[in-house]
Structure 1
Amino acid sequence: MRQHLSKRTVLSLAVAAMACGGAAHAQQGDPLYRYQWHLMNYGQSVLGDTKPAVGIDLGIDDLHDYNIRGRNVVVGVVDEGMQIAHPDLAANVVPDGSRNFNTGGPIHDPSPTQAGEGHGTAVGGIIGAVGWNGIGVRGVAPAARLKGFNFLSPRAGGSQADNIVYSWWDGAEAKDVAVSNNSWGAAPLLPPAFSENEVGAFEKPMAATRGGLGAIYVKAAGNHYNQHPVFFGLINACTAETRAANVGCTQAGFDPRNNLFNVMTIAAVNAAGVRSNYSSPGSALWVAGLGGEYGHQKPYSTQTNPLNFDPAIVTTDVSGCVNGYNSDAAAARLNALDSSQSTIDNTCNYTGRMNGTSAATPTVAGVSALVLQANPKLGYRDVRYILAATARQIDPAQPVVKHANGTVIAPGWTANAAGHRFSNWYGYGLVDATAAVERAMAFKPLPALLDSGWTRATVAAPVAIGGAGAPAKLQIRIDRAIAKVEGVQLGLETTYPITAGFLSTAPSPLLVTLTSPSGTKSYVVPAMTGVGATSAFTIPFIASNAFLDEKGEGTWTVEVADVPLAADAASKGNLTGFKIRVLGH
């Protein structure tokens, strides 16, 4: 939202000096901009039957007017396909810069060709729809250069894993990508195997991109707070008990790529300034973007859930009224923008119903592009630090979640020993574009990265997992002189069995926490989280980002508690292993 001077100081002279006729340019309009509450929110009426809460936006303020628009920053849209000829994207698309993985198609055209494939085009518009061209919408970074990589296309050839590597760093078209947007992810029933060698095989080449500065990788946390779809989305594996516990059906860190040090994992916030109902929680989160809810309006929609009528994100859609989210298909009209009957825009080239962490992630990618335009010399560690340090704490009343026996199983906002506030719903908070750009302009690059390497606990004998008052504990001392933590990764092994039905999860009784040398406790896996059946619950690889700027040197403690277990009851399993890796400077 564009703030008044009494609420925020105007851009520094250094930023204002970058203006190149931008303010005059801004007089031209984008007709649907008024509905893009994520860009500027003064409580206006938008697509949805509720109005957004004033000020819940990306904090772009006057950046666009002063020509901070992501100019010359290349953003890769790694998705199912982006329509590169879309009239509101084409001018920002790098010619012959995209990659089509579909067998037999034009190699540099990843445009979707079938119905139901509007996702990548919507993502691309959130990041970099052309501004001030008299049509449609505006991107967060409306002068960024876009490339599409359609590795998620159902017709893509080759292995999906190889196509991710190609899109992230190895492909010719990926070599100049500065920001990589990844609005996709996995939601396994159990944390999957992901070895230390696999971690290195990703992180090292990712850090080497941009001539050693490292590209900015942003990735969706997932949409699994209230559901855990399996079997082609036909079955919800999440139990009513887990949903009632209010800890999320799964954790963002169960997708191993969300835990990579180079990746910022993004939560979603709605127009009321609280967690979007679907946004996956977890200690692996970094910051939050804006994802909204569903954008329905009466009388077009006959849904009964009030969340359906809260605003979603307005962005580009596959052009025409046949494919994409906005079409003339029967029963497809759910708000005033939908279909060729719309009196707002009858082209069907735009949608007002984009949502999910898939929508929140490109809002952060766009802000990252603005930051890199302001200071192209920043490394990936600098950008992730700036976004965390300048993020806004929203929803200060986020509730503490307790088990029926009174044990805290998921905290609200907590302050770490360095004074940074962290939430398993929002990471360090909602990104603030203007604050981040101002910080970037004068930012001194972080010192060289220090990496403790993987260190394993010495376990003389298995440690019984007791109840909340008697958790199993293992400790590791990190001797590397890391003065300020930037990230922590860990893994653990137990012999604790989990019983769950086929294609279902069970509410796990295990609470996993990690405590830093300074005493900050991170809730890595809350009790009651849904997990699949296993004879021995194991977490091969997960991240906790709650310790920013704390000291890394010292003793780190992992605890595993069987929260419902009575004090006099026999243990059902042991903690048998713990490893940790601390990164910082």
Structure 2
Amino acid sequence: MKIKTPLLAASLIIACTPAIAKITDSTFPLVTGDPLVSQQWHLQNTGQTGFSQSSGVAGNDLDLDFTHLMGIKGRGITVSIIDSGVEIDHPDLRTNVVDGSINLGDGSNYPQDDDGHGTSVSGLIAATEANGLGGRGVAPHANIIGFNYLPNQTVGNWLVAHGLSEDFRQLDRFTDPRVFNQSYGSTPASPRVHDYSLDPWQELQDSVYQDITENSHWGRGSVYVKSAGNSFEVYNAFYRGYRILVLPYENNQFFNNQGLPFHNANISSDNTNHWNLVVSALNAEGKLSSYSSVGSNVFVAAPGGEFGEAAPAMVTIDLQGCDAGSNVAGEHGNALHGGSELDPNCDYTGTMNGTSSAAPNTSGAIANIMSANHALDARAIRHILAQTARKTDVEHPGVDLTFENANGELVTYNAIPAWQTNAAGYNFHQYYGFGAVDVDDAVYKALFTPAAPLPEQVITPWQLQTANVEIPDASLVGATSALSFEQDVTVEAVQVKLNIDHSRLRDLAIELISPSGTRSILMSARTGWLSSTQGGYTDTLLLSNHFYGESAKGEWQLKVIDTDKGNSFTLGYNAAIGLIGFNRDNNTENGMLKDWSLRVIGH
């Protein structure tokens, strides 16, 4: 049983206005001088192949040619790559490397990269332009520093890599990072408990994210960019010491999840943290990459590509030499690989993909926006991205789930809505957040935006609503609970904490409906959990950006719907032990929505 999976992100166990018009409908050629730039479709998509066996669709790119023509390329902005390490002496990187990199294993200033993942990420952000080598980065004049955090995961190393010095203070040098790229993530097999009293480490992480976002760089702050995950179709987990591939099974078909994401981006505690700007991945056709995790917590989408053989991936830097990294000697389905005429030393790759690529493409975009207007604070950057992101895959219909209800009738549930426009005029899609990052529009907007365009931020206290409402099995009726919110706050994000008793979490869809009537899917049905916390969801945190710009005042509704009476399954596979079924029996009793809490981050 051969399963092909993407290059995974490295794993850890206001009164607001809609987007401005585009600067121009013209396309400007990118500056020449890099032999591989013509195949970097994410920079300028002309329908090229990226050395794969098929082409993309012209126009589906970051839209940055006018920005680069103006010379806005990230100068003066440092991006921190928190990853497997960075080969900082790579000839296409070293001119943009500044002091600050740390090898978290031995304390030296060379963040040894034995994998190549972090080096490829760095190239997407800030590979040097017009030097006669390889391609170039989204922000080819930006500074970079790197940390080999993924092979050296400790609390102290996390603090240093995420912006704190060893004495727990943010450094104030001009070269300190204003953008932190986190192309890593986790795919927990059960919901996480969000309770600071039980997990002080989570509280410390959240406080660091918030402090540096708000207070570093003399109050301008920094932006943390986070990959959404690569688990739309399948994911990996451990079961009794075995590494297993976790996959859906429905209607007697393996890998059938009725078109729904198998694992939601809202499963990871890093991704439910408001301070992380979560990014999903686009392919060269401007549609969701086949592997990309999605959810209401996605803020924007950016190019991530496919696998680089049948369809384009990313063309970027690889570890030097044909015996290291992903590009090594030998035949390969990507024409750049194996020691090609354009790259005889195998210093570049055409197969980098994943939301691991979408994140650095967004980090590079943010570096360009910041360099267009250095006075902008972190919230202004997010605000500009929300205003200028463009709808992609415009005709995507969403996903309707048809299932047999408890009475034996076939019913249909709109499990993933199509593109929606919320009450504040912002377009939103579960797959793409506010849409595809558009650098030209964002930079133009940044040039005319004041340093802090939004009023002072407000984070409301958690408001608890006791529900104790039964969740009927396999029924569109669901369980609904209302919460009256009295604070007059304009939403930037909403977080919800849930307590639900239910023995088959795969069955459940969880919706939040705003006072304005906007419906956001916090957790989609058919999510492939292997187990639950205390028999269901226990203080599980979920995040939605869907209500951006709306008024929080009024009645919020939470709805939980059971969409299955035991016909769909989550399976695990390992060659040594075969197939294992999880949560195979339907719940014998109705579930219970016990209580939920809501918090608004806004102004």
The bucket for the TM-score relative to the shorter chain is 0.7 to 0.9
Per-residue deviation at 1:235?
1.8
In the alignment, what sits opposite 2:333? 334
Per-residue deviation at 1:389?
1.2
Structure 2 residue 477 is the aligned partner of structure 1 residue 470: yes
Pairwise mapping of residues 496-515 of structure 1 onto structure 2 (< 5 A)?
A: 496-498=502-504, 508-515=506-513
Residue deviations 1:188-222 (CA, integer Å, cap 9, x gap):
01221233574552443232222222211100000
Give, in whole Å, the separation in 2 of the partners of 1:266 and 1:171.
27
Is this contact kept in 2: 1:167–1:174, CA < 8 A?
no
In the alignment, what sits opposite 1:299? none
Give, in whole Å, the separation in 2 of the partners of 1:520 and 1:45.
39
Structure 2 residue 275 is the aligned partner of structure 1 residue 254: no
Residue deviations 1:34-81 (CA, integer Å, cap 9, x gap):
010100112234311211101011000221121100001000000011
In the alignment, what sits opposite 1:378? 376
The residue identity in structure 1 corresponding to 2:288 is: R
Pairwise mapping of residues 404-423 of structure 1 onto structure 2 (< 5 A)?
A: 404=402, 405-423=411-429
Is this contact kept in 2: 1:195–1:541, CA < 8 A?
no
In the alignment, what sits opposite 1:435? 441
Which of 132-141 and 402-411 deviates more? 402-411
Q: 1:250 to 1:32 in 2, by over 3 A?
A: same
In the alignment, what sits opposite 1:123? 121
Q: 1:557 to 1:202 in 2, by over 3 A?
A: farther
Higher strand share: 2
Q: 1:284 aligns with which of 258, 275, 297?
A: 297
Which of 173-182 and 545-554 deviates more? 173-182
Structure 2 residue 306 is the aligned partner of structure 1 residue 274: no
Q: 1:192 to 1:8 in 2, by over 3 A?
A: closer
Is this contact kept in 1: 2:181–2:360, CA < 8 A?
yes
The residue identity in structure 2 corresponding to 1:181 is: N
Is this contact kept in 2: 1:184–1:219, CA < 8 A?
yes
Is this contact kept in 2: 1:121–1:317, CA < 8 A?
yes
In the alignment, what sits opposite 1:135? 133
Instruction: Determine helix, strand or coil for the equivalent of 2:441.
Output: helix
Q: What is the TM-score normalised by the length of structure 2?
A: 0.84
Per-residue deviation at 1:243?
3.7
Instruction: Determine helix, strand or coil for the equivalent of 1:477.
Output: strand
Structure 2 residue 257 is the aligned partner of structure 1 residue 244: yes
Is this contact kept in 1: 2:52–2:333, CA < 8 A?
no
Instruction: Determine helix, strand or coil for the equivalent of 1:120.
Output: helix
Instruction: Determine helix, strand or coil for the equivalent of 2:477.
Output: coil
Instruction: Determine helix, strand or coil for the equivalent of 2:362.
Output: helix
Is this contact kept in 2: 1:169–1:209, CA < 8 A?
no
Give, in whole Å, the separation in 2 of the partners of 1:400 and 1:358.
25
In the alignment, what sits opposite 2:190? 190
Q: 1:53 to 1:28 in 2, by over 3 A?
A: closer
Give, in whole Å, the separation in 2 of the partners of 1:174 and 1:347.
40
Which of 450-459 and 194-203 deviates more? 194-203
Per-residue deviation at 1:233?
9.1
Residue deviations 1:407-431 (CA, integer Å, cap 9, x gap):
1122121221112111111111110
Per-residue deviation at 1:448?
0.5
Is this contact kept in 1: 2:294–2:430, CA < 8 A?
yes
Residue deviations 1:66-110 (CA, integer Å, cap 9, x gap):
110000100000001110000000000013x101111x3x52110
Give, in whole Å, the separation in 1 of the partners of 2:242 and 2:518.
38
Q: 1:213 to 1:243 in 2, by over 3 A?
A: farther
The residue identity in structure 2 corresponding to 1:118 is: G
In the alignment, what sits opposite 2:95? 91
In the alignment, what sits opposite 1:59? 63
Structure 2 residue 545 is the aligned partner of structure 1 residue 545: yes
Give, in whole Å, the separation in 2 of the partners of 1:323 and 1:522.
44
In the alignment, what sits opposite 2:10? none
Per-residue deviation at 1:360?
0.8
Give, in whole Å, the separation in 2 of the partners of 1:574 and 1:494.
6
Per-residue deviation at 1:162?
3.5
Residue deviations 1:9-48 (CA, integer Å, cap 9, x gap):
359xxxxxxxxxxx99x75511110010100112234311
Is this contact kept in 2: 1:336–1:344, CA < 8 A?
no
Aligned length, in residue pairs: 529
The residue identity in structure 2 corresponding to 1:166 is: V
In the alignment, what sits opposite 2:218? 211
Which of 463-472 and 573-582 deviates more? 463-472
Per-residue deviation at 1:571?
5.1
In the alignment, what sits opposite 1:37? 41
Which of 375-384 and 471-480 deviates more? 471-480
Instruction: Determine helix, strand or coil for the equivalent of 1:524.
Output: strand
Between the two structures, name the one with larger relative contact order (CA 8 Å, sep ≥ 6): 2
Q: What is the TM-score normalised by the length of structure 1?
A: 0.86
In the alignment, what sits opposite 1:18? none
Pairwise mapping of residues 363-374 of structure 1 onto structure 2 (< 5 A)?
A: 363-374=361-372
The residue identity in structure 2 corresponding to 1:402 is: D
Give, in whole Å, the separation in 2 of the partners of 1:426 and 1:270.
12
Is this contact kept in 2: 1:80–1:120, CA < 8 A?
yes
Give, in whole Å, the separation in 2 of the partners of 1:335 and 1:369.
30
Give, in whole Å, the separation in 2 of the partners of 1:343 and 1:169.
41
In the alignment, what sits opposite 1:353? 351
Q: 1:396 to 1:468 in 2, by over 3 A?
A: farther
Q: 1:203 to 1:89 in 2, by over 3 A?
A: closer
Q: 1:89 to 1:555 in 2, by over 3 A?
A: same
The residue identity in structure 1 corresponding to 2:41 is: W
Give, in whole Å, the separation in 1 of the partners of 2:437 and 2:150.
27
Instruction: Determine helix, strand or coil for the equivalent of 2:415.
Output: strand
Instruction: Determine helix, strand or coil for the equivalent of 1:320.
Output: coil
In the alignment, what sits opposite 2:461? 453
Q: 1:476 to 1:202 in 2, by over 3 A?
A: farther
Instruction: Determine helix, strand or coil for the equivalent of 1:258.
Output: coil
Q: 1:93 to 1:406 in 2, by over 3 A?
A: same
Instruction: Determine helix, strand or coil for the equivalent of 1:508.
Output: helix
In the alignment, what sits opposite 1:300? none
Structure 2 residue 19 is the aligned partner of structure 1 residue 9: no
Residue deviations 1:483-537 (CA, integer Å, cap 9, x gap):
x210011111111113xxxxxxxx7111100011111110111111111223521
Per-residue deviation at 1:230?
1.5
In the alignment, what sits opposite 1:14? none
Structure 2 residue 487 is the aligned partner of structure 1 residue 489: no
Is this contact kept in 2: 1:407–1:468, CA < 8 A?
no
Per-residue deviation at 1:446?
1.1
Higher helix share: 1
Give, in whole Å, the separation in 1 of the partners of 2:43 and 2:108.
34
Is this contact kept in 2: 1:179–1:216, CA < 8 A?
yes
Q: 2:163 aligns with which of 159, 169, 174?
A: 169
Unaligned 5+ runs, structure 1: 1-6, 12-22, 297-308, 499-506
Unaligned 5+ runs, structure 2: 1-20, 403-410, 567-586
Give, in whole Å, the separation in 1 of the partners of 2:589 and 2:479.
10
In the alignment, what sits opposite 1:321? 322
Among the aligned pairs, what percent are the same residue? Answer: 35
Give, in whole Å, the separation in 2 of the partners of 1:151 and 1:550.
38
In the alignment, what sits opposite 1:561? 561
Give, in whole Å, the separation in 2 of the partners of 1:46 and 1:166.
36
In the alignment, what sits opposite 2:599? 581
In the alignment, what sits opposite 1:101? 104
Give, in whole Å, the separation in 1 of the partners of 2:589 and 2:400.
22
Moved >6 Å (runs of 4+) = none
In the alignment, what sits opposite 2:178? 178
Residue deviations 1:156-211 (CA, integer Å, cap 9, x gap):
2xx43432222112126973210000000011012212335745524432322222
